[in-house]
Amino acid sequence: MGLTLLKIKVNRWLSKGFAVALLLCPALIAVAEGSKELCSNGGNRAYLLSSLTANPSYPFPTVGTMKVYVKVGETIYLGSSAQGVSSGTINLRAPDGSTYTSGNSTITGRLSTLAQELAGPLPNAGGYQPFTQTVQAGQEGIWEVDFVSPTNGTDLGGNPPAIAVSAQWVQPNNRYVAAFDVSVRNAENSAFLTGRVFTNVLSGILGTFNVGFNAVLHILTKDGYRYTLDNNGQAGNGFTFFVNNKGLRNTDGTPLYKSVNTTNTPNVQNPVSGDTPSDITHKIFFNEPAADLPAFATTQTGTTWLLTIPVPPAITNVKFTGGDGQNGTATTAIPGGKINFTATANGTYVIGIDIDRNGTFTDAIDRQFNGTVKPGANEVNWDGMDGMGKTLLPSPDSYPVNVAVTLFAAEVHFPFFDVERNINGILLTRINGVNSPDNTIYWDDSDIDKIGLPSNPLKNTTGLSSITNGHKWGATAANANDANDFGNERSIDTWAYVINPVLTAGVDILVQSPDPSNIKPPNIFTPNGDGKNDVFEVQGIANYPGSRLMVYNRWGNQVYKSEDYKNTWDGQGLTDGTYYYLLELNTGAVKPKIYKGWIYIRKQ
């Protein structure tokens, strides 16, 4: 964390009267992992959503699911304010498929007071009685914890009471959990370990629309970068957010780099689903990720990534494939082809074809392509034309191609759903990698309806410091029930990344005339309607669009003509007999290749 950010946060805590709480509880800062961390930075308590019913505030709901990495011999300690309250319970799933539950006990696993939440589980002084499970052989990896609500996810309506994080809470009889804890005890049973607990999505409710959520969370990206996120007073009553590598998406799956005007089925990778080769959900930790986390860990469905060394950006496998499948070669029969490359991250590309071969790729006659890069395989189509709209003619010399790619390392997006107000703007700091610590963030809210107080500026795609000019929207509401502001039922994205130097690679394209040696017009066809040999079929003609066919009778009179023959002449209107054809094959050369011959039509 940068010194400037630290000073700002300390000053804000002091101004809000939390200095006394910090001085009284210094030893409690790193005891447990869960709601205590969400409440350790002032503001109001956010109750955890525990339900599978979606609505505009919760487009990707979970049963309060948290994840924790544990090793053999270590013990998981669990507590919930909903434990034993009606249907409230804690369910636990191991990587090997084993399942465990705390049942309906009102003692084991019950978090009952604010003091217990701060103390963590026994044997900590003043702690709660935890539900525990020791990790057995074959169970090392990622365990999943469901904090089931008293109503088992059913929404009984109404909001939980809005309370400050320092106030004693009451567990609601609804689909929310007031307090929860996941602690890991070492195998020696001598200490609790931190930096093990994370989630893929955080959904909560504040109880009203004009109080702030101040949690400080720790983001770990798949490519090994880490961020500190201070929610800094975001005020959405019911809200959802997660962190991924694309934010909201275009229809083709590429990053949109914009906020959108709805929370109804937004085009975004579902954070509850697994990663794909190009869509990654980053991990939200409650504390700094532990230094002993492995690079990969076992899950119930396979493996997932954890703590990795930052990956240098790179492009590989740059090649050109012609329309007929030839590597490095295009033909005039099937113009153009595909330029392919593989990238390690999102980014942008500029591809130039040096048509006049003068060493630059930006002349008017040169062909250029611009677009977005996705992690993994990328493909750019070329139609065989130059920058002036003309199809390239065959040439003995190749055309140089320059592939210039700018990749974004450490890319993180924070789609916030139904956050009515964000009057302070989140504080986001990348804490490792080049030029760290770095607070630069980006956003584009230009497509959002201008209701309430919009962000200012509406569009920031050049980068601003989250400390001096964070992504802010909405205004303080005097009415606690006032949901009508800029972020109401909107999907608003804030993102950050490291823009790496341009990576370049080259490839050559050779444009050739196709080999016409396989073009052999037939000498007879039988248009009798039996579905066999009913047309004058020139095999391979489809590779030569624009080829002209003319047919004459024995007196030299033209009886058929096509400027773009496609094997459709059936001799209609002609009698049996011998005719003569002239086929001008369009090979892309200046002059067509000429085929002459005779053809016999036999209808009977």
pLDDT digits (tens, 9 = 90+) for 389-421: 998 888 889 999 999 999 999 999 999 999 999
Range with lowest mean pLDDT among 26-30, 38-42, 126-130, 326-330: 26-30
The answer to the question of residue 481 being in a domain is no
pLDDT at 30 over 50: no
> If you ran DSSP here, which 8-state letter would residue 5 be given?
H
**Do 92 and 182 sit in the same domain of this protein?**
yes
More confident residue, 471 or 9: 471
**Do 157 and 198 sit in the same domain of this protein?**
yes
pLDDT at 288 over 90: yes
User: How crowded is residue 29: how many other Cβ atoms within 10 Å of its Cβ?
Assistant: 13
- Kindly indicate the confidence band of residue 6, based on its pLDDT and cuts at 50, 70 and 90: very low
- Position 536 scores a pLDDT of 96
Q: Of 177, 207, 237, which one is at a domain's C-terminal end?
A: 207
**Do 73 and 98 sit in the same domain of this protein?**
yes
**Do 508 and 588 sit in the same domain of this protein?**
no
The answer to the question of residue 108 being in a domain is yes
pLDDT digits (tens, 9 = 90+) for 202-211: 999 999 999 9
Task: Kindly report the average pLDDT of the chain as a whole number.
Answer: 92
The answer to the question of residue 521 being in a domain is yes
Whether 593 contacts 516, CB under 8 Å = yes
pLDDT at 25 over 60: no
pLDDT digits (tens, 9 = 90+) for 209-236: 999 999 999 999 999 999 999 999 999 8
- Calculate the alpha carbon distances from 228 to 133, 169, 204, 285 in Å: 30, 27, 20, 10
Whether 286 contacts 67, CB under 8 Å = no
The answer to the question of residue 60 being in a domain is yes
**Do 182 and 39 sit in the same domain of this protein?**
yes
**Do 203 and 319 sit in the same domain of this protein?**
no
**Do 562 and 508 sit in the same domain of this protein?**
no
pLDDT digits (tens, 9 = 90+) for 370-381: 999 999 999 999
Q: Of 167, 191, 207, which one is at a domain's C-terminal end?
A: 207
- Measure the CA–CA gap between 199 and 197, rounded to whole angstroms: 7
Residue 254: exposed, middle, or buried by beta-carbon count in 10 A (0-12, 13-18, 19+)? middle
What are the residue ranges of helices labelled H in 65-213?
A: 114-119
Beta-ladder partners of 228: 218, 429
- Position 26 scores a pLDDT of 35
pLDDT digits (tens, 9 = 90+) for 174-186: 999 999 999 999 9
**Averaged pLDDT, 356-383:** 96
Question: Comparing C-alpha atoms, which of 538, 510, 514 is closest to residue 589?
Answer: 514
**Do 508 and 562 sit in the same domain of this protein?**
no
Domain of 320?
315-408+502-512
- Position 520 scores a pLDDT of 86
- Kindly indicate the confidence band of residue 12, based on its pLDDT and cuts at 50, 70 and 90: very low
What are the residue ranges of helices labelled H in 18-137?
A: 19-24, 35-38, 114-119
- Calculate the alpha carbon distances from 492 to 77, 445, 455, 483, 487 in Å: 36, 7, 10, 16, 7
- Position 539 scores a pLDDT of 86
The answer to the question of residue 544 being in a domain is yes
- Calculate the alpha carbon distances from 506 to 18, 99, 316, 351 in Å: 59, 54, 11, 10
CA atoms 460, 461, 467, 473: torsion sign: positive
**Do 403 and 537 sit in the same domain of this protein?**
no
CATH number at residue 325: 2.60.40.2950
- Kindly indicate the confidence band of residue 543, based on its pLDDT and cuts at 50, 70 and 90: confident
Q: How far is CA 88 from the centre of its chain?
A: 33
pLDDT at 7 over 70: no
Whether 288 contacts 37, CB under 8 Å = no
pLDDT at 2 over 70: no
**Do 508 and 534 sit in the same domain of this protein?**
no
The answer to the question of residue 129 being in a domain is yes
> Could you tell me if residue 87 is left (phi over 0), alpha (psi between -120 and 50 degrees) or otherwise beta?
alpha
- Kindly indicate the confidence band of residue 31, based on its pLDDT and cuts at 50, 70 and 90: low
**Do 63 and 188 sit in the same domain of this protein?**
yes
- Calculate the alpha carbon distances from 361 to 226, 349, 365, 404, 509 in Å: 38, 14, 9, 11, 14
How many domains does the chain fold into?
Answer: 3
pLDDT at 34 over 90: yes
- Calculate the alpha carbon distances from 108 to 94, 119, 128, 130, 179 in Å: 20, 16, 8, 6, 15
- Measure the CA–CA gap between 262 and 256, rounded to whole angstroms: 14
Q: Of 486, 512, 538, which one is at a domain's C-terminal end?
A: 512
Q: How far is CA 519 from the centre of its chain?
A: 49
pTM for this structure?
Answer: 0.78
- Kindly indicate the confidence band of residue 32, based on its pLDDT and cuts at 50, 70 and 90: confident
The answer to the question of residue 103 being in a domain is yes
**Averaged pLDDT, 570-580:** 94
For 153-173, b/e burial (b = at least 16 CB within 10 A) is beeeeebbebbebbeebebbb
The answer to the question of residue 222 being in a domain is no
**Averaged pLDDT, 351-372:** 96
**Do 113 and 130 sit in the same domain of this protein?**
yes
pLDDT digits (tens, 9 = 90+) for 474-508: 999 889 889 999 999 999 999 999 999 999 999 99
pLDDT at 23 over 60: no
Whether 197 contacts 68, CB under 8 Å = yes
pLDDT digits (tens, 9 = 90+) for 297-350: 999 999 999 999 998 899 999 999 998 888 999 987 788 999 999 999 999 999
CATH number at residue 580: 2.60.40
